[in-house]
Structure 1
Amino acid sequence: MTVMSYAESVLSLLPPVVAIVLAILTRRVLVSLGLGIVAGILLLSDFSPLDACQLLGERVVALVWSDGAPNSWNLYILGFLVLLGMITALISASGAARAFADWARGRIRNKRDAQLLTLFLGCVVFIDDYFNSLVVGSIARPLTDRYYVSRAKLAYLLDSTAAPVCVISPVSSWGAYIIALIGGILASHGVSDTGHLAVFIQLIPMNFYAIFALAMLLCVVLFGLDVGAMRRHEQFAQRGNLYDETKGVPPGSNVELPEEGSGKVAGLFVPIGVLVLATVSFMIGSGAMALADAGLPFSLIGAFEKTDVGASLFFGALLGLSATLALVLWQGMAPRLVKRASVQGARSMVPALYILLFAWTIAGIIGELGTGKYMASLAGGNLPFALLPALMFVLAGLTAFATGTSWGTFGIMLPIAADMAMGSHSAMMLPMLASVLAGAVFGDHCSPISDTTILSSTGASCHHIDHVLTQLPYALIVAFISLVGYTVMGVTESVWAGFGVASLTFVLAVLWLKHKSGARD
């Protein structure tokens, strides 16, 4: 049997299933990902041990060197993580994080306000999901720690604002990518009377998962809807245990660093401000250069479509680190402490780097096996067109869950959804495209091998599987609400009917969660 006989078959599901099931059962992420990688490599090599070793070596090398050149995307993202770890550690050691928490104490009255501020920051920083999770986590963590918000809750706040906000924001790396995909799809079907941006705007109210995930997050914060594993983590946090200490120190923590007593609030906001402004400037600048090279006029959406996200994050973080070093040295921090904090900050990101490298490896193997294409092939059949939006939502969710990537799911499933709509009922094209976007974000939220989920855990300094398990019940509830909405929308062919029924289902779900959690207004 050759490798091609495994590709795009049911066996292509084996690597992600092994990794995901073992990660949930054993809570040992690296071991689970490693076994998933081994399963995939064996399939790719037709179970030849020698070929498997060679293939594995090639995949490991490809993480940093590919096609005769450095793998710039991976290296830039890894570098960004290390630099951000150094920035966070220096801010903490300078006393700026504590100064911010002290300053906020007179303005942030309680635990709920601390969570609302985090939610607000997550919605404001919508440029990129990686950027959102890590930067907002660095700003919010000192405050949420002060009010004994568990790291698992913080990770949920970060993850449930990152992708849901980015996927409905046209001025973001996600929005630009989706608009570009939509443009290609419309052109291939001869649709030229509607602008690509206008179509994206029309899709926003149809993206039920993104809308109701944000609404659910707000209700969880306002009404204290802590259920299941989240409830346990919040109870432990009230006793001072912000994360499960039996599993060791999570990525991104700097608990061993001493703090200066002369820290200022500016020591937090100036470095983060430089980081944000520099990153956005690099994103627009690199996109503008790409547009110019292609002979295209400048536009903000076009710049975000063509931008080099990885390089922008890295160089933005480099300037952010420079600003941080300048501030802590001006503050008078001892050079020995500066060095110690920088090294400790870089080391704190090592567990996250390992998990991300393993996740990228298994994602590449899954891509070669055609797991996503196999999932997409399940969309065939002679189902009534009224059920197609709901079907595409489910399949996109399963594909993103199995592959760990929203963007890959968009690329695979959006053209299929458009083809199915044009072949059955063209009026359903936009609802089906929206259901793919929604399903991909849902699957990404639930997947332990998703890089966005990994980075949300890192930004919150939370153990990864703890974040996955605490977020899962909320994601599944919102997915059910969305599925109801897409079913009604397909049957009635009315976006607002689907949205209305989904809204009613959402209210009932919140009331049920209030009863389940024993929350009080």
Structure 2
Amino acid sequence: MALAQYSDSVLSLLPPLLAVALAITTRRVLLSLGVGILAGAMLLNMGAPGATTQYLADKFINIVWSEESWNSWNLNIIGFLLLLGCLISLMAISGGTRAFALWAEQRIRSRRQAKMMTGLLVFLFFIDDYFHSLAVGTICRPVTDRHGISRAKLAYLLDSTAAPVCVLMPVSSWGAYIIALIGGILASHGLTGHSPLATFVAMAPMNLYAVFTLLMVAVVVLRDLDLGSMARHEAAAAQGQLFDAARGIPPGASAELPESERGQVKDLAWPIVTLVVATVFFMISSGASKLAADGTAFSLLKALENTDVGLSLVKGGASALLVACGLALRLGLPLAHWGLALKQGLLAMWPAIRILILAWAIGAVIRDIETGKYLASLTQSGPSVALLPAMLFVLAGIMAFSTGTSWGTFGIMLPLAGDLAMASEPSLLLPMLSAVLAGSVFGDHCSPISDTTILSSTGAGCHHMDHVVTQLPYALLIALASVLGYLALGFSGSALLGLAVTGLVLLPCLLWWGRRAVLQPA
């Protein structure tokens, strides 16, 4: 079926922008995604009803079945969400969540300590952003709930530590993927004397958005500063309203469940430890198996580059659920409680799965309408070489925001940035590649159709659009400072000056913000 092409037309922006605008204004994510999908399908098929209907049917079928085989990535992510939902419910019913909250209450004695625990756990779960958002959310939610921290704040802490740490760490699924792309760029330009890993490490301090997002998290944790609507959510949480109950129970949050009085901390600790250890083991082993099949020598980075993340998450989740079931057997739970754990676990994740399915569908439409190619073409009209890092940051942010994928933006924009740098100013190669990474994470943070954003709100048990709207001011402030930092970096070639300018722009904003919070407390 021939589709109309829009790679050279501003119309390619219509479906994602329509979906995003509706999501922000109406707070109805499913409706907004559906309208964006329909608009894109009609554009691609010139409004023909029959062709549009067939196209939509094909796209939704392709989510689970494509090219004569199951779509293993999508199915594995859905499977992991369902397993995690059942795990969370079973740990609650067995009393493990309650016991852990009581244990933590004796040691985590303040809101600041609860938020510090959430922020620091990223350094144990940095192997993958999906894994981090869901696992850390599961561990920290009982503690943050006890200390009156809003679900929106928890979602912010999860999202703002997941991707920024993963994009800076070479030993992660993100790091392995980016290093592979960098290796291809270096090889295509004959830069064989440079190691892809060393290049990735050298780029880390130039990833201004990721660096300062982590610093912003530290400020928010230590100073308890709330920007925009986050102050309203925190004020409500202080009164016991952790989320907007008028809008129902958020995705990932279970309804009130019976809790066993005999539950112990190990009923939560051992399943979570199993989840971490088993997932990392299966990630490394699946990558090692792929390397062995290709006749390639084993290395940790190569294994992570070739790993099957989705299948590893499913195996890790299944292992953790088996351990939780084994521990729960000793408690003699009634049969009805086992059935309730299964039912509530599946129901808790169903809203998130619906959003993910529509996000995947609009992602397929956006690829067909070639929004990414149109945005990438805009980088070729830069008036000055020194402006290119800042331009690439902005355009990568717009692309990731519009498409909902940072990885897809990496795949399109990194090779383009490499070509631009080598054709114009080779000394700006690393700053331009870093700007793409930073802009992609920024756009991903802001986008309501990003799967990472969806899973962060799911892990926190927060309404999705509440998370998007409350995180947006933080992301925009850091992005504005990063643009100025990339201008300084582009004109000077100094990473240190880029960091200094970004910090100097943020500092007065934070001082004003802090003074305003003191004068006008939430």
TM bucket (normalised to shorter chain) is over 0.9
CA distance in 2 between counterparts of 1:45 and 1:245 reads 41
Unaligned runs of 5+ in 1: none
Q: Deviation of residue 28 (structure 1)?
A: 0.3
- CA deviation vs aligned residue, 1:145-201 (integer Å, no higher than 9, x gap): 000100000000000011000000001000000000000011001101011100000
Conserved? CA contact 1:137–1:460, under 8 Å: yes
Q: Does 1:217 align with 2:217?
A: yes
Conserved? CA contact 1:397–1:443, under 8 Å: yes
CA distance in 2 between counterparts of 1:25 and 1:515 reads 30
CA distance in 2 between counterparts of 1:310 and 1:520 reads 46
**What's 2:132 paired with?**
132
**What's 1:247 paired with?**
247
CA distance in 2 between counterparts of 1:3 and 1:343 reads 42
Q: Does 1:263 align with 2:251?
A: no
Q: Deviation of residue 258 (structure 1)?
A: 1.0
Q: Deviation of residue 262 (structure 1)?
A: 1.3
**What's 1:365 paired with?**
365
Unaligned runs of 5+ in 2: none
- CA deviation vs aligned residue, 1:441-475 (integer Å, no higher than 9, x gap): 00000000000000000000100000000000000
- CA deviation vs aligned residue, 1:289-328 (integer Å, no higher than 9, x gap): 1111111100000000000000000111011110111111
**3-state SS of 1:331 partner:** coil
Q: Deviation of residue 507 (structure 1)?
A: 2.0
**What's 2:113 paired with?**
113
**3-state SS of 1:380 partner:** helix
CA distance in 1 between counterparts of 2:155 and 2:119 reads 11
TM-score calculated relative to the size of structure 1: 0.98
Moved more, 28-37 or 337-346: 337-346
Q: Deviation of residue 8 (structure 1)?
A: 4.2
* Paired residues for 1:427-466 under 5 Å: 427-466=427-466
Aligned AA for 1:323? V
* Paired residues for 1:179-258 under 5 Å: 179-258=179-258
CA distance in 1 between counterparts of 2:36 and 2:495 reads 40
Conserved? CA contact 2:255–2:344, under 8 Å: no
**What's 1:475 paired with?**
475
Q: Deviation of residue 41 (structure 1)?
A: 0.7
CA distance in 1 between counterparts of 2:61 and 2:517 reads 48
Q: Quote the RMSD (CA, aligned, Å).
A: 1.3
**What's 1:300 paired with?**
300
* Paired residues for 1:147-158 under 5 Å: 147-158=147-158
**What's 2:20 paired with?**
20
Aligned AA for 2:271? P
CA distance in 1 between counterparts of 2:330 and 2:203 reads 49
**3-state SS of 2:191 partner:** coil
Moved more, 251-260 or 449-458: 251-260
CA distance in 2 between counterparts of 1:272 and 1:312 reads 15
CA distance in 2 between counterparts of 1:457 and 1:277 reads 24
TM-score calculated relative to the size of structure 2: 0.98
Aligned AA for 1:443? G
Conserved? CA contact 1:220–1:226, under 8 Å: yes
Aligned AA for 2:80? F
Q: Does 1:331 align with 2:327?
A: no
- CA deviation vs aligned residue, 1:199-223 (integer Å, no higher than 9, x gap): 0000111101001001001101111
**What's 1:102 paired with?**
102
Conserved? CA contact 2:5–2:370, under 8 Å: no
**What's 1:29 paired with?**
29
- CA deviation vs aligned residue, 1:408-428 (integer Å, no higher than 9, x gap): 000010011111111111000
TM-aligned CA distance change 1:44 to 1:213, over 3 Å: same
CA distance in 1 between counterparts of 2:337 and 2:130 reads 29
- CA deviation vs aligned residue, 1:239-262 (integer Å, no higher than 9, x gap): 111000111110111122111111
CA distance in 1 between counterparts of 2:504 and 2:382 reads 31
Q: Does 1:376 align with 2:376?
A: yes
**3-state SS of 2:396 partner:** helix
CA distance in 2 between counterparts of 1:509 and 1:300 reads 41
CA distance in 2 between counterparts of 1:12 and 1:452 reads 23
CA distance in 1 between counterparts of 2:128 and 2:180 reads 16
Q: Deviation of residue 380 (structure 1)?
A: 1.2
CA distance in 2 between counterparts of 1:172 and 1:108 reads 29
Aligned AA for 1:243? F
TM-aligned CA distance change 1:387 to 1:91, over 3 Å: same
Conserved? CA contact 1:33–1:359, under 8 Å: yes
**3-state SS of 2:169 partner:** coil
Conserved? CA contact 2:279–2:312, under 8 Å: yes
**What's 1:162 paired with?**
162
CA distance in 2 between counterparts of 1:361 and 1:8 reads 22
Q: Deviation of residue 3 (structure 1)?
A: 3.6
CA distance in 2 between counterparts of 1:69 and 1:146 reads 46
Q: Deviation of residue 382 (structure 1)?
A: 4.5
Moved more, 503-512 or 262-271: 503-512
TM-aligned CA distance change 1:23 to 1:382, over 3 Å: closer
- CA deviation vs aligned residue, 1:386-420 (integer Å, no higher than 9, x gap): 11111100000000000000000000100111111
CA distance in 1 between counterparts of 2:144 and 2:67 reads 44
**3-state SS of 1:148 partner:** coil
Conserved? CA contact 1:123–1:161, under 8 Å: no
Conserved? CA contact 2:137–2:459, under 8 Å: yes
**What's 1:388 paired with?**
388
**3-state SS of 2:170 partner:** coil
TM-aligned CA distance change 1:8 to 1:304, over 3 Å: farther
CA distance in 1 between counterparts of 2:8 and 2:120 reads 42
**3-state SS of 1:256 partner:** coil
* Paired residues for 1:396-411 under 5 Å: 396-411=396-411
CA distance in 2 between counterparts of 1:255 and 1:143 reads 17
Conserved? CA contact 2:126–2:172, under 8 Å: yes
Conserved? CA contact 1:159–1:445, under 8 Å: yes
Q: Does 1:518 align with 2:518?
A: yes
Conserved? CA contact 1:118–1:157, under 8 Å: yes
TM-aligned CA distance change 1:266 to 1:8, over 3 Å: farther
Aligned AA for 2:199? V
CA distance in 2 between counterparts of 1:481 and 1:332 reads 57
**3-state SS of 1:435 partner:** helix
Conserved? CA contact 2:60–2:361, under 8 Å: yes
Moved over 4 A (4+): none
Q: Deviation of residue 508 (structure 1)?
A: 2.0
**What's 1:173 paired with?**
173
Aligned AA for 1:128? D
Q: Does 1:418 align with 2:418?
A: yes
Aligned AA for 2:29? V
TM-aligned CA distance change 1:7 to 1:194, over 3 Å: closer
* Paired residues for 1:30-109 under 5 Å: 30-109=30-109
**What's 1:351 paired with?**
351
CA distance in 1 between counterparts of 2:302 and 2:137 reads 29
CA distance in 2 between counterparts of 1:46 and 1:252 reads 39
Conserved? CA contact 2:7–2:373, under 8 Å: no
CA distance in 2 between counterparts of 1:110 and 1:435 reads 37
